[in-house]
Amino acid sequence: MAIPRFWREIPSRYNLIGTKCGSCGKVDFPPRAICPVCGRKSLGKMERFRLGGVGKVVTYTVIHEAPAQFEMQKPYVVAIVEMDEGVRITSQIIDADPSEVKIGMRVQTTFRKLGEEGEAGIIHYGYKFRPVS
Amino acid sequence: MRDVAVIGVGETAFGELWDRSFRDLGIEAGLRAIQDAKVTADEIDALYVGNMSAGKFVDQEHVSALVADYSGLADQHLPTVRVEGGGACGAIALLQARLAIASGMHDIVVVGGAEKMTDVGDVQAAQILAGTADQEWETVFGATFAGLYAMMARRHMYEFGTTREQLAAVAVKNHRNGALNPNAQFQREITLETVLQAPWVAEPLGLFDCAPLSDGAVALVLCGMDRARKYTDRPVRIAGSGQASDFVALHDRRDLTTMDATVIAGKRAMQEASFEPKDIQVAEVHDNFTITEILAIEDLRFVPKGKGGPATEEGFTALNGKITVNPSGGLKARGQPVGATGVAQAVEIVRQLRGEAGKRQVTGAERGLTHTLGGTGATAVVHLFERGD
Amino acid sequence: MKSGIVSYGAYVPRYRIRPKDIGAVWGADGEAMGRGLNIRSKSVPGPDEDVITISVEAARSCMAKVDVEPTDVGAIYVGSESHPYAVKPTATIVAEAIGAAPVMTAADYEFACKAGTAAIQTCMGLTLSGMCKYGMAIGSDTSQGAPGDALEYSASAGGAAFLVGTDGVIATLDHTVSYTTDTPDFWRREGQRYPSHGGRFTGEPAYFRHVVGCAQLLFKRTGTTAEDYDYAVFHQPNGKFPVRAGKQLGFKEAQMDTGLLVRDIGNTYSGAILVGLCAILDEAEPGDRIFAVGYGSGAGSDAFDLTVTDGIQKLRRDGRSMKAMIEDAKFIDYATYAKYRGKILLREGSA
């Protein structure tokens, strides 16, 4: 992935920075310029908002056929997690055997490597989920 | 709005077509459609081409002009349009072409769909396909295209008790139909066991729950209904069209087990045509994965929400069942050269309504439906067809 | 005025491998090796972990225990000998990940296993001088031993972060003393995958000379002996050296037990003495005195004496303790270990 493209999203990828609509209170992740509920009423009212990092698994899959950069991890779990703030996000679940993953399970974000541009390239970091201890 | 009809169709076989290039495929389908329609080059007003990713598969952009060029139409200086919309691009191209004629701007338009997917390796092809998912917030975290559909399947199983056997029934049915289709990529029946024991791709989807990578092209010729009988005595009228979009990332959708875009596109098309689901005898729906067909038949209201699995298992959607779904073999058995899909589905419906579908003919087919998706459901297009004779 | 530890946090990956599984591949008696080193298992980082992820987890765990504004952390130093980048500091990524950036200073340190303690000393200076309100010192590593080498049984992964300041201190850093020489006992040239070492030369002229020598300097500086301390923790390349050094200095095994984590997680290099200190701080009471001597090859020792304050009772203990992290163990075989540690030659283009 091109350097500026990844670098731009660091606040969201490292620190779960999203937005909260000043008009209706809906939390979005990643940040949005316009609230999908309020539309133009929300212009200029979208506030920076940091997610707490805890949520529950809504659905998941175990990926066996993976792109090259995920070869080392397969099979690995990808899930859609509904954060306590209501917004849903997609990432891997790590530190758990695939057979331990259940819909409804509580998970929290951790900081992990997402990939790298080969041995000589930039390393990308971001959030993955682990079961709440 | 002016009525529009299909007056000619043409297709290549679908499969791993090593000796055919992207250009070869586009031309072959186009020429067959033009011959079937019995139009001459100077009668064609425009060309619309559905193609998802020639830029990534064969490094070629600007493909609409290229297809016109290699079809020998360069000196006609036609307006050409390439349409992209993930897997729905062919169906969107068809809709755009219909609008061009309905508006009165054009009278005869050729609509093609083509994709050449096997020049790159499997892993790369899968990654290109995944380009229609959210690159910043889904794929970068390791979600694959199959993985996203697998998550919909998992949730559907959780909410409605859908089983792996019911998912597999979709593949078995579509292969049975594909075996009757001389242009299908796979013309061999498969058993439920084969599907259930196949290696995992993304649980709960295995190898046989997934449509293949394919090369292929299709084309059809559209004409204002007022002139269609000059060319054919079996025009097929486009009775209604609907298109809808939705949040791109699966995690942003309202409901993981309903594709709102399908629901709304279906309602829009049916409202225009004044059809009810029960009026339709044959449908070609997007079955890039087995779960996708189950969601489609629910979201198009052929069966109630949650009942797609049992309905398939019971043969509701089998060839000449209550409603025949994917008589061509679907994306699963007929193949899915992505850009061609929407147009290929239309070509199958046209053949069904003309009574030309050979061994896979649906008896008494008067009204048909095509359903095509982009990405994981961020775009859906539904077209309804009716015999015009 | 004294500076001290305001908060601390650690992270150890959950994968473990046993000496016998390493020995089996290289035709050695792994169990005997383990007994000889007093190591039962060592930690292994997962394929998506590295010094940067470990440092971030440790730093976040540290910040989560206290109510300190991240923007008041004026400096972050990360010491390691396995930084993912040779050029581009781990410290800047940690800074962004805890919200301390951008008005602050940062740098990475290298001094074999004592890069983390060197970072603590720097933060002491910065906070005592008033240049920064708080400084964060991190030591973390995912060091490797060459396949089949003795170091393969002990080189492991883990790290800890210490928030240093003069306000809200939970353990004062009463004194620090260092002893530094040019002693080439263990090294790695730029571009080399694995380190090299001088075999038995790493013992007496290196580890013991510096650790014991520095410890004696600290006794002198503070006017104390081993009996004055409740806890002692030494750099732990294996489970034998620190115990021998400690006994030489008059410490009892009971004093050293809590901090001797190498037995279960191996030698976390720049993190070693720091994770040991975290284990001690997890159970220490106000008034307890701690004697800590780190060691880095090349060579040098940094020694500290700390006194735990009442402040330790105000720490939020929501996250996992050192004990819980050590017990959260998933054992793997050598093949998986080799895969995770990049010891298998992959095709170009694979991660």
CATH number of A52-131: 2.40.50
The answer, yes or no, to whether residue C342 has pLDDT greater than 80, is yes
Q: Which residue of B has its CA nearest to A31?
A: B137
A90 inside 8 A of chain B by CB: yes
**C-alpha distance from residue C74 to each of A116, B163, C7 (Å):** 30, 57, 15
A64 inside 8 A of chain B by CB: yes
Mutate to test the interface with A, among B140, B245, B253, B260 (most CBs of A within 10 A): B140
Percentage of chain A lying above the pLDDT 90 cut: 88
Q: In the annotation, is C113 catalytic?
A: yes
CA distance A24 to chain B (A): 17
Residue C350 placed within a domain: no
The string of pLDDT tens digits covering residues C213-263 is 999 999 999 999 999 999 999 999 999 999 999 999 999 999 999 999 999
Question: For position C349, what pLDDT does the model report?
Answer: 61
Could you give phi then psi for residue B198, rounded to 5 degrees? -65, 155
Helix (H, G, I), strand (E, B) or coil at B299: helix
Q: Which residues of C touch A (CB under 8 A)?
A: 14, 46-50, 52-53, 56-57, 60, 84-85, 93, 96-97, 99, 320, 324, 328, 339-340, 346, 348-351
The string of pLDDT tens digits covering residues C161-208 is 999 999 999 999 999 999 999 999 999 999 898 999 998 999 999 999
A7 inside 8 A of chain C by CB: no
Residues C127 and C199 both lie in one domain: no
Centre a 10 Å sphere on the Cβ of residue C99 and count the other Cβ atoms it contains: 17
* Arithmetic mean of pLDDT, C63-83: 97
Residues C19 and C163 both lie in one domain: yes
User: Are both B4-121+214-228 and B131-211+238-387 of the same fold?
Assistant: yes
C49, C152, C235, C278: the active-site residue: C235
Q: Which fold has domain B4-121+214-228?
A: Peroxisomal Thiolase; Chain A, domain 1 (3.40.47)
The string of pLDDT tens digits covering residues C22-41 is 999 999 999 999 999 999 99
Domain of residue C187: give its range. 174-311
Work out the pLDDT band at C350, boundaries 50, 70, 90.
low
Residues C141 and C191 both lie in one domain: no
Locate the domains of chain A by residue range.
52-131
Residue C78 placed within a domain: yes
Residue C205 placed within a domain: yes
A73 inside 8 A of chain B by CB: yes
In chain A, which among 50-79 make CB contacts under 8 A with chain C?
A: 68-73
Locate the domains of chain B by residue range.
4-121+214-228, 131-211+238-387
Residues C192 and C157 both lie in one domain: no
Architecture of domain B131-211+238-387: 3-Layer(aba) Sandwich (3.40)
Residues of chain B with pLDDT under 50: none
Nearest to C99 among A15, A71, A128 (CB): A15
The string of pLDDT tens digits covering residues C265-306 is 999 999 999 999 999 999 999 999 999 999 999 999 999 999
Nearest to B203 among A5, A61, A114 (CB): A61
Q: Which amino acid, one-letter code, is at C130?
A: G
Nearest to A92 among B141, B155, B252 (CB): B141
Question: For position B162, what pLDDT does the model report?
Answer: 98
Residues C252 and C119 both lie in one domain: no
Residue C346 placed within a domain: no
Q: Does the beta-carbon distance from B143 to A88 stay under 8 Å?
A: no
Nearest to C97 among A14, A94, A115 (CB): A14
Quick one: which of C215, C216, C264 has its CA closest to C238? C264
Residues C302 and C326 both lie in one domain: no
**How many structural domains comprise chain C?**
2
Question: For position C299, what pLDDT does the model report?
Answer: 96
Residue C142 placed within a domain: yes
Residue C133 placed within a domain: yes
Q: Does the beta-carbon distance from A113 to C49 stay under 8 Å?
A: yes
Residues C8 and C138 both lie in one domain: yes
Q: What strands lie across the sheet with C231-234, from one edge to the other?
A: C105-109, C73-79, C134-142, C157-165, C4-11, C171-183, C298-308, C289-293, C231-234
Q: Is C146 exposed, middle or buried (0-12, 13-18, 19+ CB in 10 A)?
A: middle
For chains A and C, CB pairs below 8 A equal: 63
Q: In the annotation, is C31 catalytic?
A: no
Residue C348 placed within a domain: no
**C-alpha distance from residue A52 to each of A30, A32, A35, C53, C266 (Å):** 14, 18, 20, 19, 33
Query: Which chain A residues are closer than 8 Å to C99 by Cβ?
Result: 15
Question: For position C263, what pLDDT does the model report?
Answer: 96
Residue C349 placed within a domain: no
- Residues for chain C: how many in total? 351
Quote the mean pLDDT of chain C.
Answer: 96
**C-alpha distance from residue C145 to each of B280, B384, C267, C269 (Å):** 69, 67, 11, 11
Residues 6+ apart with CB under 8 A from A85: A27, A49, A51, A52
Residues C268 and C159 both lie in one domain: no
Quick one: which of B160, B253, B251, B254 has its CA closest to A57? B251
Q: Is the ipTM of this complex over 0.90?
A: yes
CB B12 within 8 A of CB B334: no
Residues of chain A with pLDDT under 50: none
CATH number for the domain harbouring residue C229: 3.40.47.10
Residues C42 and C81 both lie in one domain: yes
Residues C63 and C26 both lie in one domain: yes
